Amino acid sequence: FQPKLLAGKKLLITAGPTFEAIDPVRGITNHSSGKMGFAIARAAQEAGAEVTLIAGPVHLPTPPHVRRIDVQSAQQMFDAVLPQAPLHDVFVATAAVADWRPAVMNEHKIKKDGKKLAPSFELTENPDILAAVASLPDKPWCVGFAAESQDLLTHAREKLLRKNVPLIVGNLGPATFGRDDNTLVLVDAAGHRELPAGDKLALARQLVAEIARRTAGV
Ligand code: C5P
């Protein structure tokens, strides 16, 4: 049983991958399942929070009593998040946002040219949603995530400073995408602490308790 740790608080959460269209039938995406973000949305709602979940393309049911907004691309996620952010107390950025998108979206399907020449694409950088929210004058309390293939703590610490957020949650261990279990490490200005291992809902409940503790009185 969870006491209502987040009663009266509003949480905004991003989850899942983004999809960056190349043409009407193709695009760039990643293996994020959205499970961690959806678990946090569920745990926060159970803890009494009012939850808005902004989801990239995922195959997951909406947790009960959670307001969900579906988006595809990083730019659409940015456009959905920014006006919502000042209306919330806490922002949890779990989405695996594509860092780059094709500079142009072809209106029609790109065809083979018959000369065995593969097309090449110019990429352009997507906006950093978390950094943009964390620089708003009326910003919510921000939590970022870090999934890295190496040097997790170094990268998590670097994100803490670069994005100017009070907490980064690191995904420890390989291949967390799509799995139900995970190991998380909390990284803040003071140091780092591993959360006891568990499935994503158990971890989400621990993280929600941690957010409640850190934002009490904020
Ligand atoms: O920049 P990087 O991908 O290393 O940082 C990951 C964190 O930043 C995650 O919390 C992710 O949701 C967030 N992020 C974002 N917008 C981006 C890239 C990452 O909100 N364009």
8-51 pLDDT, tens digit per residue, is: 999 999 999 999 999 999 999 999 999 999 999 999 999 999 99
pLDDT at 173 over 80: no
Give the whole-number percent of the chain exceeding pLDDT 70: 94
What is the Å distance from ligand 1's center to 30 Cα?
13
User: CB of 47 within 8 A of CB of 208?
Assistant: yes
pLDDT tens digits for 183-205? Answer: 899 999 999 999 998 899 999 99
30 carries an active-site annotation? yes
Establish whether 188 is an annotated binding residue. no
Active-site choice (30, 106, 164, 171): 30
Alpha-helical segments (H) within 2-151: 35-46, 74-84, 129-134
Whole-model pTM over 0.90:
yes
Provide the token pair at 205. 């409940």
pLDDT tens digits for 147-167? Answer: 877 888 999 999 999 999 999
Establish whether 199 is an annotated binding residue. no
For residue 178, how many other CB atoms are within 10 A of its CB? 10
What is the Å distance from ligand 1's center to 3 Cα?
31
Give the whole-number percent of the chain exceeding pLDDT 90: 83
Q: Where does ligand 1 bind, in terms of residues with CB under 6 Å?
A: 14, 74, 93-95, 97, 126, 128-130, 144-146, 159
Establish whether 116 is an annotated binding residue. no
Q: Where does residue 80 fall: left (phi above 0), alpha (psi -120 to 50 degrees), or beta otherwise?
A: alpha
What is the Å distance from ligand 1's center to 145 Cα?
7
Confidence of residue 177 (pLDDT cuts 50, 70, 90): low
Nearest to 143 by CA among 5, 13, 9: 13
- The whole-angstrom distance between residue 133's C-alpha and the CA centroid of its chain comes to 13
Confidence of residue 104 (pLDDT cuts 50, 70, 90): very high
Q: What angle do CA 61, 67, 70 make, to 5 degrees?
A: 65
